[in-house]
Amino acid sequence: MSLEDAVKFMIENADISPIKIRKFVRGRGTGEIKSLLVFCQQNAGREPPKRNYGYIHQDLVNILGERLGFEITFGDYREGPDGFWNFKEVRLVVESKTSKHWLTVKQASDYVRENDASSGLIICPEFDEDHLKAAESYGNVRLLTTDGLCKLVELHEAGVLSTQQVVSILVPQETVLLDYFIDIIYKIRTKPEKEAEEVEEHPIVQLEPRRTRRRRPPPSNGRHLSLWPLPGGWKQFVPTLIKMLEVVKSESPTFDEMKKWGLRELGASDAYMTGSIRNVSYMGFLKIKGEVITLTEEGQELLETKNKDIILRSLIKNIWGVKEMLLWLREGALSMDELSKRFGRWQRMNQVTHRVDWLRALGVISKTGNRCALTREGIAILERLGVYRS
């Protein structure tokens, strides 16, 4: 059963329990959620059961907000704002609409004042000139298309934008239509991959100039210097990795076929999948020879056991900076900036973020605000693997 058919089944059988819907959606990739948004927009209506598509659309939008790093309060399906997105001192009132014909900018503006919010955010497939003028006149509401929201999530998941940078985009000063900014940033979406390739081939170009007097980076000892996220956000890294290995085992795809699978099943772009496939190879689970992709012994072991210890063991063995980070965090919690200074290798935060996210996905570290710390489970895993003894 396709995702669309599953949603249709829930709606036709009045099975729209918020808990069940949100659990169903959270396990999906961003590309799949994007397809579901379009499906809901095409089928929504004012009368039951079609209006239920609007309720699911509302949850989809809020879950994408979660993936941007916001703390989400889901709104009621039938009254009030559709959601609240919170990050530090910023509080956004969010309205989700399946069609521009059903949105009222004034209502969103009123919600901002009534809830003492920083700003309002209306998310809809498209807007017309009247909506732009209305938002400009009220001054406390911003507009974002669902396509723009999905692009923003992809940028955040790729490590191009932090949550703080996302907040800066969603509360702009000079325009009410946000897609202009996002389209500009979206064009640099492949830069992290290029940066990773440059680091791999020319590590010295990533060193800070001497005048910064940053600490000399530890030696790589033959380990890969680049690490890449997988589609779906850090919470989906492990499931996505397993899916990729299953496809390689069952279909023996070429590199190009693997990229097409990623676009079809994960909604990942060509460049994103290129980085993802290489990343799984760097981790030691895939062997790439020309266009042929096969599983390594470690990949076969992981696929058979689904043991996350194997992933951590491979990261420590094959990716520079993972073991170093774990040793530093053993001394106590560190901020992202402090970790970056200890690495002393990259001018941008991307590679630090990717390492943190992989270790979070494995349950080894936690991240509260901007600070990272080992979890109790993480300490036990590291002791079990003998990390601190080697």
Q: Pick the residue with more confidence: 260 or 24?
A: 260
As a whole number of angstroms, the distance between CA 1 and CA 272 comes to 27
Q: So what's the pLDDT on residue 15?
A: 57
> Given this model, what pLDDT does residue 239 score?
94
Token pair 């895993």 in the structure block, residue: 381
Question: Residues 84-141: pLDDT tens digits?
Answer: 999 888 899 999 999 988 888 999 999 998 988 889 999 999 999 889 888 888 888 9
Per-residue buried b or exposed e for 229-256, using 16+ beta carbons within 10 Å of the residue's own CB:
bbbbbbebbbebbebbbebbeeeebebe
What pLDDT is stored for residue 308 in this prediction?
Answer: 92
**Considering the domain 218-389 in this protein, what is its CATH number?**
3.90.241.10
Q: What is the pLDDT of residues 141-157, one digit of tens each?
A: 999 999 999 999 988 88
Specify the CATH architecture of the domain 3-186.
Answer: 3-Layer(aba) Sandwich (3.40)
Q: Can you tell me the distance from the alpha carbon of 272 to that of 302, in angstroms, rounded to the nearest whole number?
A: 23
Give the DSSP per-residue string, 182-238.
HHHHHTTTTHHHHHHHHHHH-GGGGSPPGGG-PPPPPP-TT-BS-----TT-GGGHH
Token pair of 327 as six digits: 């040793």
Q: Is the pLDDT of residue 199 over 50?
A: no
pLDDT above 70 (res 25): yes
- At residue 240 the predicted structure's pLDDT band, cuts being 50, 70 and 90, is very high
Share of the chain above pLDDT 70, in %: 81
Output the pLDDT for position 196: 39
Question: Which pLDDT belongs to residue 224?
Answer: 85
- For residue 208, name the pLDDT band (cuts at 50, 70, 90): very low
Helix (H, G, I), strand (E, B) or coil at 252: coil
Residue 334 vs residue 7, higher pLDDT: 334
Both structure tokens of 101: 């014909």
- Judged against a pLDDT cut of 60, whether residue 202 lies above it is answered with no
Q: Where in the chain are all domains bearing CATH 3.90.241.10?
A: 218-389
Q: What is the pLDDT of residue 221?
A: 61
The distance in angstroms from the start CA to the end CA of the chain is 48
Q: Pick the residue with more confidence: 289 or 222?
A: 289
Residue 169: predicted pLDDT: 85
Length of the chain: 390
Cα 22 → chain centroid = 17
pLDDT score at 254: 92
The more confident residue out of 57 and 344 is 57
Residues 353-378 have pLDDT tens digits of 899 999 999 999 999 888 999 999 88
Higher-scoring residue by pLDDT: 163, 185: 163
- Where does CATH 3.40.91.70 sit in the chain? 3-186
For 89-127, the DSSP string reads TEEEEEEE-SSGGG--HHHHHHHHHHTT-SEEEEEES--
Which one of 44-58, 211-225, 363-377 scores highest in mean pLDDT?
Answer: 363-377
Q: Which residue has the higher pLDDT, 170 or 199?
A: 170
* pTM metric for this prediction: 0.51
Residue 46: predicted pLDDT? 78
pLDDT(212) > 70: no
User: What's the pLDDT band for 179 if we cut at 50, 70, 90?
Assistant: low
User: What is the rounded distance in angstroms from the CA atom of residue 242 to the CA atom of residue 299?
Assistant: 9
Q: What mean pLDDT value characterizes the chain? A: 82
